[in-house]
Amino acid sequence: MWSQLDILLDREAQESEREFYGLLGIVAVKFAHLEARLRDLLSTLIHSEDELMTATLTQGLDLSRTVELIKKVGRIRLHDTARLYELTSAVNSLRQERNAFVHGIWQISASATGSIEATCSIPKIDYEENAHSKQWTQRLARQPVSLEMLVQMAIRATELSRITDELTEQAAEESSP
């Protein structure tokens, strides 16, 4: 009987793992869509008649640099800079959260009560220096994660993509003669 219960718990844990990792994959995909839309916004803000020049200027930019350039060029090209700054601030916040989850170390297990618990640990290195020594310590910052948290991240990425599309359309309208 106990071995059957162990198998049942293992199946439940396996199903929960799949659900967590599946949602994590959805977050990654939604975030990739957001990044692509942000590059489109930057390209529209650059407002170059030469598509090759725009592609050259935006090629290989990481998300942080893309967001930074959107803020700088957006100040020049858009009238609604407040909305642009709200977008870039929200994207930066979501990026930090996403990076922690995507690059973190996951542990998903069944608790004694049978509920599933997920923890994401993020490796951190702390550095201290005083007059006599230097010290580095490595630790894992642990954060409990729920399925709802991952769902909310995916929803926020989708909403930010929609806002990005609206700002891209606005930028295109403001730049046309």
Stated as kind and residue range, the H or E segment containing 24 is helix 2-46
Phi, psi of 171 (to 5 degrees): -65, -40
pLDDT digits 0-9 by tens, 124-154: 777 888 888 888 777 777 888 888 889 999 9
Q: pTM of whole model > 0.85?
A: no
Q: What is the DSSP string of 105-155?
A: EEEEEE-TTS-EEEEEEEEEEEEEE-SS-EEEEEEEEEEEE-HHHHHHHHH
Q: Within 13 A of 167's CA, how many CA atoms are on the CB side?
A: 32
CA–CA distance, 43 with 71 (Å, rounded to integer) = 13
CA–CA dist 16, 20 (Å, integer): 6
Q: What is the pLDDT of residues 66-111, one digit of tens each?
A: 999 999 999 988 887 899 999 999 999 999 889 888 888 888 776 6
Domain boundaries, the chain: 2-105+146-175
Is residue 6's pLDDT more than 70?
no
Which position has the token pair 């290195």?
125
CA–CA gap between residue 110 and residue 62 (Å, rounded): 37
